[in-house]
Amino acid sequence: MQREHVGVNNATLHYLDVIYRLTIDGEAANTTEIAARLHVTPSGASVMLKRLSERKLVQLTPYKGATLTATGKRLALRTIRRHRLLEMFLVSVMNFEWHEVDAHAHALETAINDEFEDRMDTMLGHPTRCPHGHLIPAKDGSLPKVADVPLMDQSIGFDGVIRCVDTDNGELLKYIGDQGLIPGTHVHLKEVAPYGGPITLESDHGTHTIGRNLAELVYVEHV
Amino acid sequence: MQREHVGVNNATLHYLDVIYRLTIDGEAANTTEIAARLHVTPSGASVMLKRLSERKLVQLTPYKGATLTATGKRLALRTIRRHRLLEMFLVSVMNFEWHEVDAHAHALETAINDEFEDRMDTMLGHPTRCPHGHLIPAKDGSLPKVADVPLMDQSIGFDGVIRCVDTDNGELLKYIGDQGLIPGTHVHLKEVAPYGGPITLESDHGTHTIGRNLAELVYVEHV
DNA sequence: CATAACATTTGACCGGGGTCAAACTCCTGT
DNA sequence: ACAGGAGTTTGACCCCGGTCAAATGTTATG
């Protein structure tokens, strides 16, 4: 296929990945935030961003922020696809638990190649979501349209299915998973305590009262 | 467990791996050979070796060669264990063919951690050999004693089982594999043509006439 | 045993990805 | 309108793993 641009290494891909996530909302990603997510100082990130813009992977407006170029976005989506396929693989094939897989997938996502990616995709039956419910970009970078909505935007009486739990915090995931609140679970919204209080859900596993911070991570689809 | 020595990264592990292989025979590894195997210049390797010896991973005698320290050997064996477990995993779980796995395993061997290593080991039922028949070092670095002998050392009439095909050349492996001459195959040595000529084997798959260069890669166990 | 041939190391350099401290830009509130 | 403070970039520096060319060590050979 298209030959790969030389110099697209681990560090580069991790930058692109982070910038992608920070620019989904359409806003440019700011240096400090990028630095924070990569556990690097803002000055270090600033230098790296300049290099990435010289390599035409990011569009940089000094003092304003960074967005991805088409090439950068393609690479970011490829990395994200690999990450999420790996997570799926780790859970489905290797029996890891959903709160363990992010770290492993992060380490592996820049070490695998196309062949490996495709093999996983085939073995898993071309999954469209990772174990936490995030969409897996297609090979061409496209993402399917879905009807996920934040649980916290719903009113009492809502009936739906959990589609995504949006965090990479292992402890939180473990807790949420232990409650059985995983993608595919049918839930009914019973109560929302006022003043930022907890919410109460019903599922096949019983009744759950969870803090709003947790509830805010959950996305559902109406049924 | 024992906390990891900082600065043990990909490049380091690949150096240790190569030095390990070059010192199995008890002789110190020479700079040029190390450089060749890592596709770097001898001067680059020389500099790196000095660094590795400062980090107490190799024992370096200038102008004489390098051997591994206990720490270096431990890390090398860990890498080799991971490499061979990965190869086994790629063949048994992901259905890659034995001539495809070396490159993948090489890329992954420095990206996985203890947990991943252990999970593969468990899934595979604690294998003792990789798909090509090389021994998988145990977690403590120990290697079992085996009765593998070179096929080319045997006399006509020999009966045995193939235990190892010692090459990482994909083309050769594919050819040998296509003949069915894989570990576990029972073979009978029928003929050895003189003056470096081909040898003739019989197996369950029929009669094979292979060049001596190929035959020299094959290790067998007498039955 | 001197010297040629080869292996190895050193020195000067480079790019990548970091650090910290200092300088700069931008934005906001008074 | 402008001072401060937050955010960002620059500059000087670092380590790592390379390069090439030159110097040096080792070994074999006539």
Q: Is A165 helix (H, G, I), strand (E, B) or coil?
A: strand
pLDDT digits (tens, 9 = 90+) for A179-223: 999 999 999 999 999 998 999 999 999 999 999 999 999 999 998
In chain A, the N- to C-terminal Cα span, in Å, equals 42
- Which residues are within 8 A (CB) of B180 and not within 5 positions of it... i.e. 6 or more apart? B203, B204, B205, B208
Percent of chain A with pLDDT over 70: 97
Q: Which two tokens stand for residue A155?
A: 């009113």
Q: How far is residue A186's CA from residue A172's CA, in Å, rounded to a whole number?
A: 20
Q: Which pLDDT score is estimated for B7? A: 59
| Res. B13: pLDDT tops 60 | yes
Provide the Cα torsion B168, B76, A86, A185; round to 10°: 140
Across the interface, which of B104, B115, B119 has its CB nearest the CB of A116? B104
Identify the bridge partners of residue A191 per DSSP, sorted by sequence position. Answer: A200
CA distance A108 to chain B (A): 6
Contact B49/B31 with Cβ under 8 angstroms?
yes
Strands (E), A35-118: 58-61, 65-68
- Which tokens go with A124? 């898993």
Quote the minimal CA–CA distance from A196 to chain B in Å: 39
| Angstrom distance (rounded) from CA A84 to CA A17 | 12
What are the φ and ψ backbone dihedral angles of A197, each rounded to 5 degrees? Answer: -75, 180
pLDDT digits (tens, 9 = 90+) for A88-137: 999 999 999 999 999 999 999 999 999 999 999 999 999 999 999 999 99
pLDDT of residue B4: 47
Question: Among A82, A88, A93, A94, which would you mutate to test the B interface (most chain B Cβ atoms within 10 Å of its Cβ)?
Answer: A94
SS3 assignment, position B12? helix
* One-letter amino acid for residue A77 of the chain: L
On whether the CB atoms of residues A99 and A168 are closer than 8 A, the answer is: no
Residues 83-122 of B with CB under 8 A from A: 93-96, 100, 104, 107-108, 110-113, 115-116, 119-120
